[in-house]
């Protein structure tokens, strides 16, 4: 549950200040503040505070898996066909894990990289539609389609979502002619418009980016996944500035283990400045998922905050971040992860993450016990390997 508190000694945008949180919302930001009434004080001692990160594309039930496939492929359709013909032993082995536990694990793996909101691509078990049922916020409601060739009717889902919620679809995911023609096909169906989240967009050209801008759609960029499958990624440096771009992990079947890793991989490509990468997991991602109240630290905004050791600018701090260096993750005013000295601030339990002792939302230890019973010994999960 959220606890009314004052965060003192927070380094935000280069200045030390204090943040008052009440009812899960930021209600005051000042040079310094004192607790009153039942408020509690948490002294951050100069830790850098960033908005909670947004992972705009994940498949939570697949985040136990290692990378799967024998790339390179011309398109995601070829990858799916390969999986159907040669389904890997690792993927079969994770089936005994209950779907609810797979989703819980996916939420925790996001928490470990400062993600406070995740956009789930695919169905979600009913129990997780209740706010607070997972350690991170899931963007709900959310419409989605697997792709133009697979899954539910694209046009009807897009029409249903229009103006009400985001509509996400895997599109132009590849380097062949099929991928290059998909954006125009989506537009012909009337499914490209405000709120449409084009996930991947590897095959989109300059004309396609202009169409994306004209339709006021957004791009979700997953460069690690793209490079694993195709050896290439979207030409984000050519995207018009009015098109929101959100950086995302995709599932661990093809993408990064953490969003921190994804940010560093994206930086290594040299396509986008570090400051833009920070925006792609905060304010710009919030625009893409149609939740403008997220991805910022401001009075009236949800108290979704993370604290890290400062490493220069906010962008530099994000690039240096590791799960083991996270000092605090707050979701809607509730502390979900905390260093030892802040463990009193939430309903947390001790774990070892990235070789460092920390505390996370209670329930992880019981979950990992169930996973250990369901999975074979030595199951090759890179995300699960973060825990000792």
Kindly report, residue by residue over 114-148, the tens digit of the pLDDT: 999 999 999 999 999 998 999 999 999 999 999 99
Pick from 89, 128, 126, 84: which is nearest to 106 by CA? 128
**The pair of three-digit structure tokens given for residue 50, joined into one six-digit string:** 């960033």
Q: Do residues 93 and 375 lie in contact, with contact meaning Cβ atoms separated by under 8 Å?
A: yes
Percentage of the chain with pLDDT > 70? 98
Band of pLDDT at residue 94, cut at 50, 70 and 90: confident
Distance, in Å, from the CA atom of 26 to the CA atom of 383, rounded to the nearest integer, reads: 32
Beta pairing partners, 25: 22, 302
Distance, in Å, from the CA atom of 340 to the CA atom of 146, rounded to the nearest integer, reads: 41
Over residues 284-293, mean pLDDT? 98
Distance, in Å, from the CA atom of 13 to the CA atom of 310, rounded to the nearest integer, reads: 11
Q: How confident is the prediction for the chain on average, in pLDDT?
A: 96
Is pLDDT above 80 for 88? no
Band of pLDDT at residue 90, cut at 50, 70 and 90: low
Kindly report, residue by residue over 161-206, the tens digit of the pLDDT: 998 999 999 999 999 999 999 999 999 999 999 999 999 999 999 9
Over residues 58-63, mean pLDDT? 97
Determine which helix (DSSP H) or strand (DSSP E) holds 20, and give its type and residue range. Answer: strand 15-22
Distance, in Å, from the CA atom of 257 to the CA atom of 251, rounded to the nearest integer, reads: 8
Q: How many CB atoms lie within 10 A of CB 96?
A: 11
Residue 319 vs residues 145, 226, 288, 322: alpha-carbon distances, Å:
32, 20, 22, 9
Kindly report, residue by residue over 209-266, the tens digit of the pLDDT: 999 999 999 999 999 999 999 999 999 999 999 999 999 999 999 999 999 999 999 9
Instruction: State residue 57 phi and psi, 5-degree precision.
Output: -160, 115
| pLDDT value, residue 93 | 80
**The pair of three-digit structure tokens given for residue 30, joined into one six-digit string:** 């000042």
Distance, in Å, from the CA atom of 169 to the CA atom of 160, rounded to the nearest integer, reads: 14
Task: Write the CATH number of the domain with boundaries 53-288.
Answer: 3.20.20.140
| pLDDT value, residue 209 | 98
Over residues 53-80, mean pLDDT? 96
Burial class (CB in 10 A: 0-12, 13-18, 19+), 213: middle
The count of residues in the chain is 388
Pick from 94, 93, 151, 141: which is nearest to 119 by CA? 141
| pLDDT value, residue 152 | 66
Q: Do residues 192 and 219 lie in contact, with contact meaning Cβ atoms separated by under 8 Å?
A: no
Kindly report, residue by residue over 326-378, the tens digit of the pLDDT: 999 999 999 999 999 999 999 999 999 999 999 999 999 999 999 999 999 98
**5-12 and 15-22: which strand pairing?**
antiparallel
| Residue 206 three-state SS | helix
Q: How many CB atoms lie within 10 A of CB 287?
A: 18
Distance, in Å, from the CA atom of 136 to the CA atom of 296, rounded to the nearest integer, reads: 16
**Domain topology for 5-52+300-386:** Urease, subunit C; domain 1 (2.30.40)
Q: Do residues 304 and 294 lie in contact, with contact meaning Cβ atoms separated by under 8 Å?
A: yes
| Domain boundaries for CATH 2.30.40.10 within the chain | 5-52+300-386
**The pair of three-digit structure tokens given for residue 252, joined into one six-digit string:** 């661990």
| pLDDT value, residue 57 | 98
| pLDDT value, residue 3 | 81
Distance, in Å, from the CA atom of 268 to the CA atom of 223, rounded to the nearest integer, reads: 11
Strands (E), 53-151: 53-58, 115-120, 137-138, 143-145
* Structure letter (DSSP) for residue 376: P
Is pLDDT above 90 for 310? yes
pTM score: 0.97
| Domain boundaries for CATH 3.20.20.140 within the chain | 53-288
Alpha helices, DSSP H, located in 47-131 = 76-85, 89-93, 99-111
């Amino acid at each position: 549950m959220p606890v009314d508190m004052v965060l003192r000694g927070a380094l935000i945008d280069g200045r030390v200040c204090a943040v008052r949180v009440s009812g899960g919302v930021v209600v005051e930001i000042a040079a310094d503040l004192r607790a009153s009434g039942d408020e509690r004080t948490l002294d951050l001692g100069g830790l850098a505070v960033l908005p909670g990160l947004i992972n705009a594309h994940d498949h939570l039930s697949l985040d136990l898996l290692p990378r799967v496939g024998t790339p390179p492929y011309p398109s995601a359709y070829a990858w799916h066909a390969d999986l159907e013909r040669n389904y890997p032993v690792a993927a079969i082995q994770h089936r005994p894990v209950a779907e609810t536990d797979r989703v819980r694990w996916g939420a925790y793996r996001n928490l470990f990289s400062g993600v406070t909101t995740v956009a789930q691509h695919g169905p979600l078990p009913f129990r997780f539609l209740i706010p607070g049922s997972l350690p991170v916020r899931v963007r709900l409601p959310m419409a989605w389609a697997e792709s133009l060739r697979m899954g539910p009717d694209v046009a009807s889902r897009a029409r249903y979502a229009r103006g009400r919620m985001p509509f996400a679809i895997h599109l132009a995911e590849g380097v062949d002619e099929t991928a290059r023609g998909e954006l125009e096909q989506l537009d012909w169906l009337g499914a490209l418009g405000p709120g449409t989240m084009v996930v991947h967009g590897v095959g989109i050209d300059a004309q396609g980016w202009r169409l994306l801008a004209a339709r006021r759609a957004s791009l979700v960029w997953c460069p690690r996944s793209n490079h694993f499958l195709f050896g290439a990624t979207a030409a984000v440096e050519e995207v018009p500035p009015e098109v929101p771009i959100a950086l995302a992990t995709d599932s661990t079947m093809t993408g990064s283990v953490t969003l921190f890793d994804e940010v560093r991989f994206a930086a290594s490509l040299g396509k986008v400045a570090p400051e833009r990468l920070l925006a792609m997991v905060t304010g710009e991602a919030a625009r893409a998922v149609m939740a403008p109240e997220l991805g910022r630290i401001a009075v009236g905004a949800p108290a979704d905050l993370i604290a890290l050791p400062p490493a220069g600018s906010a962008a530099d701090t994000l690039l240096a971040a590791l799960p083991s260096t996270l000092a605090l993750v707050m979701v809607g005013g509730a502390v979900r992860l905390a260093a030892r000295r802040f463990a009193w601030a939430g309903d947390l339990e001790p774990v070892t993450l990235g070789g460092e002792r920390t505390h996370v939302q209670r329930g992880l230890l019981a979950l990992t016990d169930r996973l250990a019973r369901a999975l074979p010994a030595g199951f090759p999960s890179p995300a699960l390997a973060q825990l000792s």
